[in-house]
Structure formats: structure tokens, C-alpha cells
Amino acid sequence: MYRQGDVLIVPVDEEALPEHVPARPGLPRDARGRMVLALGEVTGHAHAVVGPGKLVREEGPFGPLLLHLPDGGRVVHEEHAAIPLPRGWYRVVRQREYVPGAVRIVAD
């Protein structure tokens, strides 16, 4: 497992993925060519991955975001050290916090 700020990146065995996931198209990259895992609403900074691969939105038990890195990649952020990731599939989890009566995604 890898963590950068409020983003957790968990390796997933390809054999465990639903059959349709590898064929799904990836989400668009940002203007800098990065796959954005989480965008800071306040600062505009982003937890993003650079390198070849794709980010897939999946509504199943592995979702909502799955990351495929066929050659590995790096998670970057303006305020954190870069994290190298080996090749493979990953589930991207945003940290949540309890607010009385609800649960919400942590905002940067």
C-alpha cells in the first residue's frame, strides 16, 4: 500500500478485477498530461500519476477509481515527495472523515 496525503493506493491482483475493467477506456488526463487522483479544492494542487497507463472509473467493489500502470509510474504532488509505483493495477481510495450525520471526502 502507498499513501500520499489523503490518497491511499492499494495494489490489486489483475486476476481479481472484473473482466470488463481492463478493456474500459481511461479518464482524460489533465492539461499537463497527468492522471489526477485527487484535486485540492482549496489549493489547486493535485495528487497525480505521471507515466504511461490509465485511470478507470469503476462503480464496483474495487471502484470508484482503478489505476493501471503497465510500466510503473510516479505519484506526484506539489507538497509531498514523489512515490514510485511498480507496474500493475491499483485501487485509489480517498480518505474520508466523519461529520455528524454524514461521511465526507477529506478536502485538501
Digits of tens for pLDDT over the chain (108 positions)? Answer: 998 888 899 999 999 998 889 999 999 999 999 999 988 766 678 999 998 999 999 876 666 899 999 999 999 998 889 999 999 999 999 876 666 766 555 555
Beta carbons of 88 and 81 less than 8 angstroms apart: no
Contact in structure between 32 and 44 (CB atoms under 8 Å): no
Task: Return the closest-CA partner of residue 86 out of 99, 69, 98, 106.
Answer: 69
The pTM (predicted TM-score) of the whole model is 0.82
